[in-house]
Chain A
Amino acid sequence: MGWTSEQPLIQMRDVRKKFGALTIIDGISIDVMKGEVICIIGPSGAGKSTLLRCINALVPIDSGSITVEGQEVNDPKLDKLALRRKVGMVFQQYNLFPHRTALANVMMAPLHVLKRNRAEVEAEARALMRKVRLDGKEDSYPGELSGGQQQRVAIARSLAMQPDVMLFDEVTAALDPETVKEVLVTIRELAEEGMTCVIVTHEMGFAREVADQIYLTDRGVVVEHGPPAEFFTNCRDERTRRFLSQVL
């Protein structure tokens, strides 16, 4: 499918998802253009995380459509490998593989999944570790690293697949306040380099700094969205006002 960069990189139209009797996503439509940084905020609930997982086909949707670079994610004949090469994901619980060193974690996917040359992959992996400011920790096991360091290794691991868009699922929620900043700095640098990012976060200050668009979701629908300047000062919806007054 001919996808050009004028079209949205990710296009979600009326996505719906139920778990049993509970409706988690109730008709969400979002467009993400190339190079944009989208922040999704909202009250705690599985809706936002589920939405991210629907984008890279970890969770199937019930109805609606999600296309990534023109490729429909809901298609049963989808080539999941091709999709996951384009879409990288970083989880709240880091989910590093504890039995391999940090460098091995970063190298594993390009080696096993993409079957690339080992020397090249290793050189790139070391460069990525340097980029997330963890050079010197290549041979440490995840269990020997702090939470912030593990999260940065997780970011490097996703970047190793050279994705076109990165999804961040509340990546700082499980970290101590001191280590939150080091991860946010890494993400901001990524955004400034032009990586398309969809970030689910509770860090309002970070969202205000880095986002191009902010979406507020509540009970499975998008309540309001807009650029940070408008969003935080001139919000229209009552629910948005209430939420912001609670968190700011």
Chain B
Amino acid sequence: MEYLAVGLPEEGARTDPVSRRELPTLQADMIDLTPFWDWFRELYATTGIKLTIFYDAFDRARFANGFLTSIRLMGLCIVASIVIGVLGAWAQGSRLRLVRLGTAAYIQSFRNTPPLVQLYFFYFALGSYLRVTNNLGLAVPIVSNFTWATICLSLYAGAFNVEIFRAGIEAVPSETVNAAEALGYGRLAAYMHVILPLAFRISLPALNNNLVNLVKTTTIAYAIAVPEMLYVANQIWSDELNVPEMMNVLLVIYVALVGVVVYVMGRWERAMRVPGYMP
């Protein structure tokens, strides 16, 4: 499993009296947030709301790792799915029939099946076939489960993106292309300066919708034990028995995260509107 090393405790450190976990040693350049964390300890003492992810250093580190893994997964999937979308839209207009059929098959199979089943398929079915032997002679999967999740989710969202980009390109009327050609633009130059900018602006709302769905769907990586936020939260509430608190925190953080993505996309959409022709 992949952990991003963020502030895990060292040896010989102090221990937290409540959870008996080790506390990180305070270094001179670290901001002392102990009073802030202690407020949550007080909260537990007075009301029984157990938010160990704040006052317990080990849980805090674990949860921070999980949060960063989630962000990393979301970011990678967004970028990869857009790249796949652009490549696929280009491939769909190819002269070669085989390329066109292959792209169509890819889109159909990934759009019409549950992403969870796709994930299991990739990780269990394909993963069991693609094993390499490491230097100890053991058969290990060719890529980690985080990578499988990234691949599968990118392909899933990429399939939708191909359709979205294609619809955007087709919404540019052929008369506009005619006008560009009449001005002397070659095929490639017309694509770069006229068709693609317009197609992108037209397809932006649908693209944003799809990317927001992607961000929400990344939680299914839990099913193959990717240590993203949901999985780590599960570990924490199994240890600390604070299920309601953790679920609430999780819900709030996810909604806020997706809300941030929605807001950013909305701003981007507004910046990219074509004045006079788009609401």
Are A and B in direct contact (Cβ within 8 Å)? yes
Do residues B179 and A91 form an inter-chain contact, with CB atoms below 8 A? yes
By DSSP majority rule, is chain A's interface helix, strand, loop, or mixed? mixed
B residues lining the A interface (CB < 8 Å)? 173, 175-176, 178-186, 189, 193-194, 197-198, 201, 274-277
Considering the chains assembled together, what is the distance between the CA atoms of A80 and B274 in angstroms?
30
Do residues B184 and A98 form an inter-chain contact, with CB atoms below 8 A? no
Do residues B183 and A161 form an inter-chain contact, with CB atoms below 8 A? yes
Do residues B274 and A143 form an inter-chain contact, with CB atoms below 8 A? yes
Do residues A113 and B274 form an inter-chain contact, with CB atoms below 8 A? no
For B194, list chain A residues within 8 Å (CB): 97
Q: Would you call A95 an interface residue if the criterion is a C-beta within 8 Å of the partner chain's C-beta atoms? A: yes
Do residues B178 and A95 form an inter-chain contact, with CB atoms below 8 A? yes
A residues lining the B interface (CB < 8 Å)? 53, 56, 58, 80-81, 84-85, 87-89, 91, 93, 95-99, 108-109, 112-114, 141-145, 154, 157-158, 161
- Separation in Å of the B179 CB from the closest CB of chain A? 4
Considering the chains assembled together, what is the distance between the CA atoms of A112 and B193 in angstroms?
9
Q: A58-B182, A158-B183 are in contact. Are A99 and B189 (CB under 8 A)?
A: no
For A97, list chain B residues within 8 Å (CB): 176, 179-180, 194, 198
- Separation in Å of the B201 CB from the closest CB of chain A? 6
- Rank and list the top 4 A-B pairs by shortest CB-CB distance, nearest first: A143-B276, A95-B179, A84-B184, A109-B183
Considering the chains assembled together, what is the distance between the CA atoms of A166 and B269 in angstroms?
38
For B179, list chain A residues within 8 Å (CB): 89, 91, 95-97, 154
Do residues B274 and A81 form an inter-chain contact, with CB atoms below 8 A? no
Do residues A142 and B276 form an inter-chain contact, with CB atoms below 8 A? yes
Do residues A81 and B184 form an inter-chain contact, with CB atoms below 8 A? yes
Do residues B183 and A98 form an inter-chain contact, with CB atoms below 8 A? no
Do residues A99 and B181 form an inter-chain contact, with CB atoms below 8 A? no
Considering the chains assembled together, what is the distance between the CA atoms of A112 and B184 in angstroms?
9
Do residues B182 and A113 form an inter-chain contact, with CB atoms below 8 A? no
For B276, list chain A residues within 8 Å (CB): 98, 141-145
Do residues A58 and B178 form an inter-chain contact, with CB atoms below 8 A? yes
For B182, list chain A residues within 8 Å (CB): 56, 58, 84, 87-89, 91, 158
